[in-house]
């Protein structure tokens, strides 16, 4: 029966149509489930010489069997098979008693309850981070006398002495110069404020890097590259643990408040995934199944974007388009629910104090015209060029950090970059303010009540305005801010502090867009009779909205860096409330992706995954080579033969002396006919358990993978039957299977390894690491950069 099943599998694997039927026809793995032996098998092989000494493993699975080591890839097929078996068992029992029925209902409801808890916890943490970061950012400039816990805006809300022209000034809020010297104006007061700004920036950044280094090294960076890798099936122990969550939450506030060119939006995805991973331990279904846990983490990624931008729908699309590796329809619904709960929680906290969920609410009064698509596409080209340049420069800098002594001094690096950032950013009001404030200022549409320098127009007639001295000053400051932001973000992203890339990229694009928007506005003002403006832009009318150009530029630059498209457009219109401007956003985002892809198809997150050597098989990347399985498998020619286990005849000592992570099991060394596949971790756990619980297991005991125990000498130690931990249906391909089909099998089924056969005889093995190394070699990259399997 079993040989017929194996023969059937080999025949199926010979066909290209295997891709269409694998998911529904594979046999459930028997790994981790011990067989029950009858009385005949207990006495078999002992030649009637008294009571049997044959070791019979326990019926229940051993703790640890079926689990994975750190920095290894999970077996998606085995995990899904285990979950189906568990669900089938619960369903069958539910028909037998009321208690079992209630257990079945609670099991079905547990996923929704978990999503509710993830949304509530992530929304509450995001609200606390927003409020804390806003307050600590303002502390660099001064303190509120009414109460030190008030930020600048809240401090002046209750003041009756605030004038409209100087709405940001009130007696209750005093700068550090006023608190220390009693003076608010003059060169000495400026120097005191300057020095205090640098002091607080260094203090916050120092605390951030020290806490990360001492308590949670995994709390640094954005977290999205690692989240993508984990969702593809990779194990990184501790990356989503409680210490990482605590330290990342605290240091994220410190890093953002220090004034470094980074954002909190990317790390909030990491924070939400930490919450989900911790809450998964409350539910057995998710605690014991790695594949089910990754469904929850996919939903948590959507929650992270939802609370970062106030964009629940964009968050779901972000998880689907950018982060998730396996995203079934059920996960889509639960992601939507979790993002809804998180957005509602954040709205209840109201961290922005404006009773709105959106971060940058805009209300433009002038519709856009078809002619403006040309400058919008120009912004898309700029965003694509900037994205490609940023990725190459940042990866080069991060590689320099990894390969030189710079990486040995992360604290000094953070302090130097923080000091340089504070020193250069303070004189320019547009670099001194936080990234979120800067983007909000650039998105703003000027009205009669605005006192911003960007609205420094001088009135020529009752209906028309032209650029005044204040606007020209603002434009020069913005041009300097653009150069500064482009350069400092390259060396900031990737340091040993929590650092997001969304806000810095959007800031670069918003500055470029505002500069182009003001240029178009003045061009229309002085050339309203030109062909391109005639018919829709009359003299004295406000035809151009510079804030719209800033919004389009922000989307273009973020798209060029991350290569997001659909999710980015939805995030932008949710972020700003500007649904009317979705076509300009789509045009700029698509253009930026095309331009950036012309220089390299990797986004910033994929580039960092490759830099770190993670085993991530990119679903979007096409395999365009004509290789065969025999070209990629191990062993290669001139290599030692493939390490295998025989179904009988090997001893416990020989099995324990092996060093590979898994082994094919064959009938004999001569025949090389495949029987199954077994993991070394499961072998060692089973042997260790047998030695603790059973008598007579020694290094000379035979390890048996057959159904019936072979005859043994009377004085031989009892054999150890381990057929129960062997995968009897390992995936196989023939040596002439094209590699593009093999790669698709690995992608769509999430395989760890695949065995290669020829006429039923085992030839070799292909692992995910082998495929990634082969793809790197074909792309003229270093294949040894793939560090993990």
What are φ and ψ of residue 672, in 5° steps? 55, 25
User: Side-chain half-sphere of 449: how many Cα atoms within 13 Å?
Assistant: 4
H-run or E-run covering 379:
helix 373-403
User: Residue 227: its pLDDT value, please?
Assistant: 95
User: Residue 451: its pLDDT value, please?
Assistant: 65
Cβ 564 vs Cβ 355: under 8 Å: no
**Unique residue bearing structure tokens 């039927």:** 21
Q: Which CATH architecture has domain 120-140+185-349?
A: Orthogonal Bundle (1.10)
H-run or E-run covering 756:
strand 753-758
Low-confidence ranges of the chain (pLDDT < 50): 1-59, 462-464
User: Residue 200 class from Cβ within 10 Å (0-12 exposed, 13-18 middle, 19+ buried)?
Assistant: buried
Q: What is the pTM of this model?
A: 0.86
Give me 743's structure tokens: 């790669």
Measured CA to CA, the distance from residue 473 to residue 771 in angstroms comes to 56
Cβ 336 vs Cβ 303: under 8 Å: no
User: Residue 153: its pLDDT value, please?
Assistant: 82
* Domain 370-612 -> CATH class: mainly alpha
Cβ 660 vs Cβ 709: under 8 Å: no
Q: Which residues contact 381 (CB under 8 A, 6 or more apart)?
A: 591, 592, 595
Measured CA to CA, the distance from residue 161 to residue 158 in angstroms comes to 9
Measured CA to CA, the distance from residue 783 to residue 751 in angstroms comes to 20
User: Residue 320: its pLDDT value, please?
Assistant: 92
CA angle 58, 63, 67 (to 5 degrees): 125
Q: Provide CATH code, domain 629-785.
A: 3.10.580.20
H-run or E-run covering 758:
strand 753-758
**Unique residue bearing structure tokens 């970062």:** 308
CATH 3.10.580.20 in the chain, residues?
629-785
Cβ 38 vs Cβ 46: under 8 Å: no
**Unique residue bearing structure tokens 């609200």:** 127
Give me 225's structure tokens: 């590259």
User: Residue 176 class from Cβ within 10 Å (0-12 exposed, 13-18 middle, 19+ buried)?
Assistant: buried
What are φ and ψ of residue 61, in 5° steps? -60, 145
Query: Alpha helices, DSSP H only, in 158-309?
Result: 176-181, 187-215, 224-231, 242-257, 265-280, 284-287, 290-309
Measured CA to CA, the distance from residue 502 to residue 490 in angstroms comes to 13
* Per-state percent for the chain, helix, strand, coil, to nearest 5: 60, 10, 35
User: Integer distance in angstroms from the first to the last C-alpha of the chain?
Assistant: 34
User: Residue 131: its pLDDT value, please?
Assistant: 92
Measured CA to CA, the distance from residue 410 to residue 408 in angstroms comes to 6
Distances (CA, A) of 205 to 308, 415, 712: 21, 7, 69
CATH 1.10.3080.10 in the chain, residues?
120-140+185-349, 370-612
User: Residue 567: its pLDDT value, please?
Assistant: 94
User: Residue 715: its pLDDT value, please?
Assistant: 81
User: Residue 326: its pLDDT value, please?
Assistant: 86
**Unique residue bearing structure tokens 């406000």:** 542
Burial 124-148 (b: 16+ CB within 10 A, else e): bbbbebbbbbbbbbbbbbbbbebee
Residue 234: strand pairing partners: 73
């Amino acid at each position: 029966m079993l040989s017929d099943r194996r023969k059937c599998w080999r025949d199926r694997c010979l066909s290209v149509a295997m891709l269409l039927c694998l998911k529904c026809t594979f046999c459930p793995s028997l790994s981790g489930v011990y067989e029950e032996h009858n009385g005949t098998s207990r006495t078999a092989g002992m030649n009637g010489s008294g009571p049997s000494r044959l070791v019979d493993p326990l019926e229940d699975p051993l703790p640890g069997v079926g689990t994975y080591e750190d920095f290894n890839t999970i077996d998606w097929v085995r995990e899904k098979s285990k979950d189906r078996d568990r669900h089938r068992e619960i369903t069958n029992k539910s028909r037998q008693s009321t208690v079992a029925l209630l257990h079945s209902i609670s099991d079905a409801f547990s996923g929704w309850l978990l999503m509710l808890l993830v949304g509530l916890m992530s929304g509450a943490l995001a609200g606390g981070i927003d409020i804390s970061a806003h307050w600590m950012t303002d502390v660099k400039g001064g303190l509120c006398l009414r109460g030190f816990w008030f930020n600048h805006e809240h401090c002046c809300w209750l003041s009756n002495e605030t004038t409209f022209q100087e709405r940001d000034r009130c007696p209750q809020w005093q700068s550090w110069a006023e608190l220390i010297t009693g003076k608010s104006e003059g060169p000495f007061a400026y120097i005191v404020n300057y020095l205090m700004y640098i002091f607080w920036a260094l203090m916050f950044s120092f605390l951030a890097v020290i806490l990360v280094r001492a308590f949670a090294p995994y709390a640094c960076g954005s977290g999205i590259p690692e989240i993508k890798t984990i969702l593809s099936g990779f194990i990184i122990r501790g990356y989503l643990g409680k210490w990482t969550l605590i330290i990342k939450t605290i240091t994220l506030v410190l890093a953002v408040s220090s004034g470094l060119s980074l954002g909190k939006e990317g790390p909030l995805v990491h924070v939400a995934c930490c919450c989900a991973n911790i809450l998964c331990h409350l539910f057995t279904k998710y605690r014991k199944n790695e594949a089910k846990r990754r469904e929850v983490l996919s939903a948590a990624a959507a929650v992270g974007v939802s609370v970062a931008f106030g964009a629940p729908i964009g968050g779901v699309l972000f998880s689907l388009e950018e982060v998730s590796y396996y995203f079934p329809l059920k996960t889509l619904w639960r992601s939507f629910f979790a993002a809804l709960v998180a957005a509602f929680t954040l709205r209840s906290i109201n961290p922005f104090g404006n009773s709105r969920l959106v971060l940058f609410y805009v209300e433009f009064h002038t519709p856009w015209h078809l002619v403006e698509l040309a400058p919008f596409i120009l912004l898309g080209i700029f965003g694509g060029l900037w994205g490609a340049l940023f990725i190459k420069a940042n990866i080069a800098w991060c590689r320099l950090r990894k390969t030189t002594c710079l990486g040995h001094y992360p604290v000094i690096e953070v302090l130097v970059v923080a000091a340089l950032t504070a020193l250069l950013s303070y004189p320019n009001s547009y670099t001194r303010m936080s990234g979120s404030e800067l983007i909000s200022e650039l998105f703003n549409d000027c009205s009669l009540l605005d006192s911003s320098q960007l609205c420094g127009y001088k009135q020529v007639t009752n209906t028309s305005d032209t650029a005044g001295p204040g606007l020209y000053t603002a434009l020069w400051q913005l041009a300097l801010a653009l150069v500064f932001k482009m350069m400092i973000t390259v060396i900031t992203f990737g340091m040993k502090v929590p650092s997001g890339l969304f806000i810095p990229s959007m800031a670069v694009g918003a500055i470029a867009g505002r500069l182009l928007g003001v240029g178009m506005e003045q061009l229309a003002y002085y050339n309203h009779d030109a062909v391109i403006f005639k018919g829709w832009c009359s003299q004295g009318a406000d035809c151009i909205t510079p804030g719209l150009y800033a919004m389009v530029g922000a989307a273009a630059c973020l798209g060029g860096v991350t290569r997001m498209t659909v999710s980015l457009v939805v995030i932008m219109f949710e972020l700003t409330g500007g649904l009317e401007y979705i076509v300009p956003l789509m045009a700029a985002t698509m253009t930026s992706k095309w331009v950036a892809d012309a220089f390299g198809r990797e986004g910033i997150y994929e580039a960092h995954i490759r830099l770190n050597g993670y085993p991530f098989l990119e679903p979007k990347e096409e395999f365009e080579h004509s290789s065969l399985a025999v070209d990629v498998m191990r062993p290669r020619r001139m290599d030692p033969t493939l390490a295998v286990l025989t179904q009988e005849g090997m001893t416990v000592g020989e099995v324990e002396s092996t060093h590979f992570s898994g082994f094919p099991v064959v009938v004999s060394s001569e025949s090389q006919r495949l029987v199954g596949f077994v993991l070394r971790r499961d072998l060692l756990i089973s042997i260790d358990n047998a030695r603790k619980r059973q008598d007579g297991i020694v290094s000379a005991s035979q390890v048996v993978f057959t159904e019936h125990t072979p005859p043994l000498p009377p004085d031989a130690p009892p054999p150890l039957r381990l057929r129960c931990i062997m995968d009897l249906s390992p995936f196989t391909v023939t040596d002439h299977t094209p590699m593009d089909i093999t790669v698709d099998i690995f992608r769509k089924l999430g395989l760890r390894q695949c065995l290669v056969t020829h006429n039923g005889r085992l030839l070799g093995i292909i692992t995910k690491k082998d495929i990634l190394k082969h793809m790197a070699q074909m792309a003229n990259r270093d294949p040894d950069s793939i560090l993990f399997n």
